A and B are shown apart, each in its own frame.
Chain A
Amino acid sequence: MEQSEYVKPLPYNSRRNLFAFLVIVFLVVLPFLYLYATGYRFDFAKPTNIVSTGGIYVAADRTGAQIYIDDELVRETRAFRQAFYAQNLDVGTHRVHVQKDGHHTWVKELPVSEHLVTEAAAFNMPLIPDARLIAKWDTATGSPVVKSEIAYPHVVNAYVATTTKPTAASFKLDQEYTSLMAHFASTSTSTASRETTAEYLRGLLTGGGATTTDEATSTKISSGVRLALEGDDLFATWVGPFEQMPYYYCAPTFPPYSTSTPAISSAVTTPAVRQDVDPDGLVMHPVQAVPAGAACDPTVKMDRKGETLRAFDFYPGSTDLILEVLEDGIYVVEIDDRGWQNMQPLMEGRDLDLYIENGNVFVYDGSLIYQILLQSE
């Protein structure tokens, strides 16, 4: 029987030739991959045939939301896919909006620089959030008792409306209501900051700034962000490590959106940090290697619609969003001031009071307390 042609192992020459071919493939493919990965794209309409692009990364906080970039739908968010990375974007300003039925729309104009990715975190508050009603009196089964039908349409728990004045003879006193009212009473009066900025930063440098603290009603600190009232205005300042500083602090200014996406200066580069020193000589930020001549004040002035700011706090679980109690309601406002600050009402009404406990938001309208249910979908 003749030996089959396959009995012999792979000839050395075949293997060597294949190896040489693959080496050539490696050497040819790699430069193109490098160019692609860093944002270069072919554009044969341009004289150079190659253009530099950038990207936008948008994270939504809800499933079922639609992300648009330059009015083009790019992603419908789902569980585990709540963000979108748009690449191949021309340098310039781009409009991003995120919308969902029954929710406020988030809109922002964002700059895109070559080889860089602009990040943004969108939020979409429900038009009318669900709320749990807490009244002074409860029925025997625990349902809150109110004097008349309430106007707020999204109360999730059953309540009893009575025409008579509730008394201890017929109803029981709600302990939660009593407890919360004590807090509302204690936080309704503004007090001056009991601690200077320098004192706080001294604590931060010795490791005391990692947890949320409530220095006074005029200063709040959480996870590297300090909210401080200065006069009538509220300022958010990044006081944490530079490496962890959110992208929108020290963001450069840029021209507004247009469909022609005009080029912006390539000088829009990585945000830098100024090495601020407080009066006592303490370094305010960790020393960073930043571009020469770069300076930045990581402070953002918060929008308050020109109204009087009655109270403020961090939105639970977030250092990007702030709750502002204004004259006509409570609003969720983003710190990110690129383009503008999105502001969405949490609850509208006059003379509302806000209290946050363990991540739960309670609103007192002068008669009843509502726990606003914030959970994202």
Chain B
Amino acid sequence: MAKRPQLLPYAARPDFKVGRATELSGKNRAFYRFLEILPGAASWLSLIAMVLASIYTPFFAAYFIIAFSVYWVLKTAFLSYHLRHNWRRLKVHMAMDWSAMIERFECSHLYHLVILPFYNEPEAVIDASLASLANARYDKKSMIVVLAREERAGEPARIAAERMREKWSGTFGSFLVTAHPGDIEGELAGKGSNATWAAEEARRKILDPHGIRYNHTLVSIFDIDTVVYPDYFNCLVWHFMTARRPLKSSFQPVPVFNNNIWEASALARVVAMSSTFWEMVQQERPERMATFSSHSVSFQALYEIGYWQTNMVSEDSRIYWNLLIANDGEYDVVPLSYPVSMDANTAPTFWGTIKNIYKQHRRWTYGVENLVYLIFHFTKNKAIPLRRRIIIALQQFEGYWSMVTNPIMLIILGWAPIFFGGRVFHETVLSYNLPIVVRDLLILAMFGLVVSSMISLTLVPERPDGRGRHLWLVMALQWILVPFTMVVFSALPGLDAQTRLMFGRYMGFWVTPKARDREEESEERAAVA
């Protein structure tokens, strides 16, 4: 392995970028394998325990379910409080003039390296993203745009990239098209390996030749459907300049999946908005945050750990754990509370949409591989304070466990004692009151959805021509689908992902199909944004 002196000491460890147990040996391999089994086993055991308790100790199960339902209501209230606050912050941030905000800083030395990895997405999607960059209220000459294609995507991707270069290269300071080879040994085909290739290419071909300092370069790694709002880079710079440790921070915008919200089905909209809301909640508790999807980070921080991992799926969050661990815990996520628009997951057919959403969420929830990674390295990197390691590990574990088990326990297994509890339990008032109490508590929790519904309406772009006014009503009422989407698009794909990891059936990167009904509309939206 080539010696890379720029790497932080911990990042130079051979196991720093471990992707799975099979890449290790000896005790480390066994321990990593144990950790891979742990999340799935915990989830399955919880669900099985719930069923067994319903059969053998139905009274205990009933009391537990009631307590769990109360917990759920209070958790909903707790999260709604965060969501509402972040929504207000988001609205204020969107209304603010960030270019005026950064006037007090000397930031002309900063460069923005925007990496846009893509595979086979339609040209209209790429074009809309580039158009939004071009419309950003920021000095475009300080922007370096890297359109990172995959060589294995073949000729169509190359042609699309060249067309984009022709159209946009004059707009930005630099415009680089990179082609990630498909045959690099040890790599898993995916966004991480493509982005890593693109970052290194940009360093070699642009930063170094132009003498651009790494600590003066902010990397924005965007999914290809990311449409930035006009003040994104101003907002980013303000947060960078005011951050406690700007070079040891990642900057996380709010991904609002509303590019194609008017074309998406109600199901796709609810799932997309739910993802947005979750990120909004996380923005208010940054100590539990990891980076997700499109975000920004200093080039130096990336360079010090050798960029993204190329051997795993959820590189968008993994990069944060890489940075946290390599920097001995001295690393932050700074929430921007400023949006970037992305595509809601949709397909031409209803079943296609369901399939796509399920697969996308399975990929997202496969982020449980990060839990394995961070616990493994928390046992190795003693420079991180023990308390912090324990708290982060428990928070992440609880997050992945509750995401999979809570909806199933509440919505499906909550009724198990009634069906499995047997005759003695069935004749009790408790048996009859259990569904009533749980139902009433869930209805109470549904009031949180009213907040969600109202907030979602404020994040929807202007209604395009040809879309009926009644869709506003549909968008308000669509939130009654949440109990269904929680189980089908959160718990089940999460359980699927954890089970795959548990059995060592490691997942590959699944590229979410992107589609735009109306290309011109996308361009207009980018222009409006």
Interfacial chain B residues near A36, Cβ < 8 Å: 433, 437
A362: shortest Cβ distance to chain B, in Å?
36
Q: Is A18 an interface residue (CB 8 A)?
A: yes
Which residue of A1, A18, A25, A29 contacts B100 across the interface (Cβ within 8 Å)?
A1
In the complex the two chains form, what is the Cα distance from A194 to B430 in whole Å?
A: 46
Number of A-B contacts (CB under 8 A): 99
A81: shortest Cβ distance to chain B, in Å?
14
Q: Is A117 an interface residue (CB 8 A)?
A: yes
A107: shortest Cβ distance to chain B, in Å?
22
List residues 412-443 of chain B with CB under 8 A from any CB of chain A.
422-424, 427-434, 437
Interface of B is mostly: helix
Which residue of A6, A19, A30, A38 contacts B88 across the interface (Cβ within 8 Å)?
A6
Interface string of A107-122 (1 = CB under 8 A from B): 0000000011101000
- A-binding segment of B64-72, B368-376, B481-489: B64-72
Interface of A is mostly: mixed
CB pair A55–B432 under 8 Å, yes or no, is: yes
In the complex the two chains form, what is the Cα distance from A27 to B110 in whole Å?
A: 52
Interface residues on A, range: 35 or more
Interface residues on B, range: 35 or more
Interfacial chain A residues near B89, Cβ < 8 Å: 6-7, 9
Interface string of B86-109 (1 = CB under 8 A from A): 101100110011001100000000
**Which of A1, A6, A119 has the most chain B CB atoms inside 10 A of its CB?**
A6
Interfacial chain B residues near A38, Cβ < 8 Å: 428-430, 433
CB pair A37–B437 under 8 Å, yes or no, is: yes
List residues 77-129 of chain B with CB under 8 A from any CB of chain A.
77-78, 81-82, 85-86, 88-89, 92-93, 96-97, 100-101
CB pair B286–A9 under 8 Å, yes or no, is: yes
30 A-B residue pairings within 8 Å (CB atoms): A1-B101, A3-B101, A7-B92, A9-B86, A9-B335, A10-B82, A10-B284, A18-B81, A26-B71, A30-B67, A33-B70, A34-B63, A37-B62, A37-B430, A37-B437, A38-B428, A39-B429, A39-B430, A55-B432, A85-B432, A87-B429, A115-B430, A116-B429, A117-B427, A117-B428, A117-B432, A243-B422, A243-B423, A245-B423, A270-B423
Q: Is B314 an interface residue (CB 8 A)?
A: no
List residues 228-245 of chain B with CB under 8 A from any CB of chain A.
none
Q: Is A200 an interface residue (CB 8 A)?
A: no
In the complex the two chains form, what is the Cα distance from A329 to B384 in whole Å?
A: 88
Interfacial chain A residues near B434, Cβ < 8 Å: 37
In the complex the two chains form, what is the Cα distance from A134 to B82 in whole Å?
A: 73
Which residue of A10, A116, A242 contacts B85 across the interface (Cβ within 8 Å)?
A10
Q: Is A54 an interface residue (CB 8 A)?
A: yes
Closest chain A residue, CB of each to CB of B81:
A18
**Which of A37, A53, A247, A270 has the most chain B CB atoms inside 10 A of its CB?**
A37
Q: Is B463 an interface residue (CB 8 A)?
A: no
